[in-house]
Structure 1
Amino acid sequence: MSVEDTVAVRVLLADDHPVVREGLCAILESDPSIEVAGQAGSGEEAVTLATRLLPDVVLLDLRMGGMDGVAATGHILRQAPRSKVVIVTTYEDDSDILRAVEAGAAGYLLKGSSRAELIEAVHAAARGGTVLTPSLATKLFRARAVEPTPLSARECEVLRLVSQGLTNADIGRELFIGEATVKTHLLRAFKKLEVSDRTAAVITALERGLLA
């Protein structure tokens, strides 16, 4: 299929700096398979244009006066659910990365990304992929690694005994509690650790240093 036969990816640009918008527009339109369908100078304008234009991809600045990129992302995805939003910014703050992803953004790029990275990001987002500047991968991982719900002292105690090979009945006798109570503690621990069996619970708890 020739370039002429392909359907161009329609992009909406949103940034409160005209020079930045012009630069992004020039980069994107250097790829014949990308069409800049519109430009917005604020989050509010981005929501309005996205609702009307229904672009494939919206490139949003994170920090804009009034409605920021994260808030705009939520509104856009409600009004134009098929659009994919990619945050493009100079900021690398962990909380901002997490906020953008939690709002439904398909990705997060730094404005210092290369021409090739920006163009590939647009195509990847349009295909439904997740876009993230490589240097931000560990930051996102760290930001998403929210402190897990802590196990209670009793739940840790029960798992420690499970790791020693004791049965529920054995654990009950050891802790002077009923076997049903042991099972309840285990089920609560499974839920907190997001596992479904005793072995996985012990392994996960050990990995997190909960049974030290």
Structure 2
Amino acid sequence: MQYFPGLLNTKTGASILDLVMAGTETIATTLQWAILLMMKYPEIQKKVQEEIGRTVKSGSWATYEDRKNMPFTNAVLHEVQRFITLLPHVPRCTAVDTHFRGYFLPKGIIVIPSLTSVLLDKTQWETPHQFNPNHFLDAEGNFVKREAFLPFSTGRRNCIGESLAKMELFVFFVGLLQTFTFQPQPGVSESDLDLTVPQTTFTLRPQPQATCAVLRE
């Protein structure tokens, strides 16, 4: 790629930065969390792999359309995004003078909504602080869409790349679990894996931890 000085000071440069940060960093970090959670909960990983085996033809790769026949895998991916609260605070700016719950918010003021307050709301989720794919499944095992699932925010300024992100996460995640089983390194148990103290950067990243990717037959 040819470098043009001052590019990042232009609208084009800002768009490229958004593409890298919002379109690449978020997907990569979510997949890191997904692999860590599969290591932490091997019984869930096994159920995903069994569903992949029933749905995807041997020797083929999954397509995004396959998610319709993979409710458990779809639920796992949604629960990963809910549980990790990847981008809990995304700044917004009021477009007009606004009155909200007794407060006056003048036009142009910065507002930072807390998505964590929704994604971990105990009134919306049965076990908000636990990784539980059943949040997105009914009694018959069918996938259930939840209104409180808002990792991409909501409204007119929700994430413009939501559709692309969902497709990428599904295809990459299923492809990885088709090929590998992820396990802690020797001498490390599932209980030793740390989910509690993420690194705070652009996104909430998991702590660096080693994984063993065991090739599946």
Common fold: TM-score over 0.5:
no
Q: Which has the larger radius of gyration?
A: 1
Decide which structure has greater helix share.
1
TM-score w.r.t. structure 1 length? 0.21
TM-score w.r.t. structure 2 length? 0.21
